Amino acid sequence: MQTIAFQGIHGANSENAIYEYFETEDINTHPVSELDSLFEVIHRKEVDFALVPVENALAGAVNGTYELLMDYDLRIQAEVIHHVHHALMALPGTRIEDLDCVRSHPQALAQCERFLQRNNIKPVNWYDTAGAAKDLASEKVTNIGALATTRAAKIYGLEVLAAGVEDVSFNYTRFFLLGHTDPERAEAN
């Protein structure tokens, strides 16, 4: 079974893009915390492939990726375009009205700014979207929410209060699938 590394933790948009590209969830995903480490694990062949973010339609180029592409002799296997969606989540039983603030990556917060303002929810910068969900689940705080993927809500036992809360619908992230050999794709039925 193939193993594909991505930056973030389980439930990240990068992981969703992997499942979407390979058209199956019957693959191993390998979370890596830093972009540099992502390039290292594929370079050392600890994983079969790595999915790296290249640019976002709203935030622009991921300059760190381009710099690292120059430092490593890796083959770009494929381009993956992933439609990014954000969901507001909280502990089960929490209502939107109960939330004082919501945590997420600064980019996600900026992409949902009007929604948060309409609902009088204060944005709080967090290191990662899925990380905000994971941390909220472990802290068990009822007046705080998280913006992340619906997959993150499922993984960490949170309840989705509202899905598709991004202010604009054209939020896409472009990724490169890096590796040393050609990837296997799921057989179409």
Neighbouring-strand partners of residue 3: 28
Stated length of the chain: 189
β-strands 122-125, 144-148: how paired?
unpaired
**DSSP run (H or E) holding 19:** helix 13-22
Three state DSSP letters for 108-176: HHHHCHHHHHHCCCEEEECCCHHHHHHHHHHHCCCCEEEEECHHHHHHHCCEEEEECCCCCCCCEEEEE
Whole-angstrom distance, CA of residue 56 vs CA of residue 172: 6
Q: Which are the catalytic amino acids?
A: 173, 175
Whole-angstrom distance, CA of residue 139 vs CA of residue 184: 39
Helix (H, G, I), strand (E, B) or coil at 183: coil
Whole-angstrom distance, CA of residue 154 vs CA of residue 131: 13
